[in-house]
Structure 1
Amino acid sequence: MRNFIKYPSLKLKPRRDYCVPVGPSFRFAWKRRIYLLGSRLEFRAPGHASAPNTWSHKAGPVSHSHEGAGFRSCRLMPGEGWEEAPLFGRTWDFYGSWFVGNVARVSCYGTVLRPKNLEKPLNFLHPRAFESAVLGYLTAQWGHEVDEDDGTPYQKAPINWRPVKDMPVPAVIFDIRKTKSLGGSNSRMLFFPISTDRVVRFSFSFKQYCTGPLEDEDSKSAPSPCWS
């Protein structure tokens, strides 16, 4: 649990020195259970813990049936080539020591994804088709987000692509890093298929509340607690 004496949510002074934020503990977090097309997914996640008087996202856990109820077009995707159904959502704020207040935020989203209007059938349980689906989704969701002035993408991905070997289906984890301080986001993504045409995505997006250039953010607030 967070040390409520040294790391309170109250902000009574500005942050001037390097900060290592502290947030909820995953070690003693509640076990969550979601049923996905007859299979069971279990994981630990802390309770919703956002700072007072701030907007945050909370959802689920929601199981996913064969009927696939709850699908909608993916947000912010121009071509609407993919649909999503929500599974889980939580927000966790991280605090600095001795009344510095909220210095970072991690948002967790879990969704089931499926493509719309496939030209030919694919089997996402096959590793190559699964990787193509993940890369296609990334391009469709964020490939259009570029700086209007110089054409630089707001985000760079995938970074640190690595397979998850202890799952019974193909699975991959990778990072997304923003390239500009005023656009994009830093995220860690987990993808795995649950059927021939459906993929699960869990994203952990974090934001550091810092001012100044992008290259100075990590020197003011440590990103490691949000990535762990």
Structure 2
Amino acid sequence: MLDLIKNSSLKLREFEGTCVPRGPAIGNARPVVIRLPQGLLGIDLPKHQPMRNESAEELRIVKDVEALIGHAHSTNSMPSQSWEHAPIGNRKWAFYGPWFSGFMGQVNFHIEGLNLAKPNSKLNFLHPNGFENGVLGYLSAVWGHELHDEAQSTPYYQSPIDWKPIRILPVPAVQFDVRETVTSGARYRKVFFPVSHDKLIHIHFSYRQACAGSQEEKDQKIDPKPMQNLIDNIIRSIQLTPSPQLEAELAEIRKTCPNLSVSPECAPLKWPADVDKDGITILEYDKHRYAAPGR
């Protein structure tokens, strides 16, 4: 009860110094099981706790098998229309300062399945090479075309940043960040891993501090570590139990690639860029490539 009062959403004063906000405790997170066509995915998630008075509906994770039926992205978010996505669930977690200093930040969580809009029988996401090609192709298809300054060809985002292979899963897996190049609105962390030869799981986190200034100035006002720790703990909780069929496919790949390891590092991609209709081939940016007729 004392913690509820100490870190209340009610704001009655301004906080002096560096605020260390408090959000949901990972220790109180409940294991969530997502039933996939070729296995079980487990992840520990706190309950949905958005900012007070925010009308943010939760996309609840279903108890039945998640079929991962893909849907097209909007042409604004993905001009190439080369990938499809199948939303699985989302949640938000608000962070508050001590002793009635109010809202200090929020972490957003979203999980979805991904597949190529045009199937490619030669590409296998279970193999590390195919997996990395898929991840970088999707990343560029969604984020690579965004421009901060068209005249200077300044990309809005830079990624992958801080590429880290995830070694706790029985499939190739990686996490990395997406960074805004000029502005300092939100921070983004992504996790990818395959759950079949033609489908990926994409987990997207975004988090922000409720204050103004450069990122360095924001970090001085509101410590981002509690939000980052929540994200790290959720990532560490991920478990994947392959079905017998999926395990057999992985065993076949291990004959030539024993540990299924991805590259230990990956430099940021050269953006702005487009992606071909195949969803994999990264092309030089051309604003007219996927423009609507007459534009």
User: TM-score if structure 1 supplies the norm length?
Assistant: 0.90
User: TM-score if structure 2 supplies the norm length?
Assistant: 0.71
AA aligned opposite 1:74: H
- When residues 213 and 166 of structure 1 are mapped into structure 2, their CA distance, relative to the original with a 3 A threshold, is closer
AA aligned opposite 1:110: I
Q: Quick one: distance in 1 between partners of 2:15 and 2:82? A: 43
2:187/2:206 contact within 8 Å kept = yes
RMSD: 2.0
Alignment of 1:1-228 (within 5 A): 3-62=3-62, 63-65=65-67, 68-69=68-69, 71-75=70-74, 76-118=77-119, 121-148=122-149, 150-181=152-183, 185-228=186-229
AA aligned opposite 2:183: S
110-119 or 88-97, which deviates more:
110-119
Secondary structure of 1:40 counterpart: strand
Q: In the TM superposition, what is the alpha-carbon distance from 1:37 to its structure 2 partner?
A: 1.3
Question: Whose helix fraction is larger, Structure 1's or Structure 2's?
Answer: 2
Task: Describe the superposition over 1:112-164 as per-residue Cα deviations: whole angstroms up to 9, x where unpaired.
Answer: 00111246631000001101100111101011112126433222211111111
Q: Quick one: distance in 2 between partners of 1:173 and 1:119? A: 24
Q: Quick one: distance in 1 between partners of 2:2 and 2:131? A: 38
Structure 1 unaligned residues grouped into runs of 5+: none
- When residues 146 and 156 of structure 1 are mapped into structure 2, their CA distance, relative to the original with a 3 A threshold, is same
Q: Quick one: distance in 1 between partners of 2:173 and 2:2? A: 32
Q: May I ask how many residue pairs the two structures share in their alignment?
A: 224
- When residues 16 and 152 of structure 1 are mapped into structure 2, their CA distance, relative to the original with a 3 A threshold, is farther
Task: Describe the superposition over 1:60-108 as per-residue Cα deviations: whole angstroms up to 9, x where unpaired.
Answer: 213422xx43x21235222221111111210000111111111111000
Secondary structure of 2:155 counterpart: coil
The percent of aligned pairs where both chains have the same amino acid is 39
Q: Quick one: distance in 1 between partners of 2:49 and 2:2? A: 11
AA aligned opposite 1:170: P
Q: Quick one: distance in 1 between partners of 2:147 and 2:13? A: 36
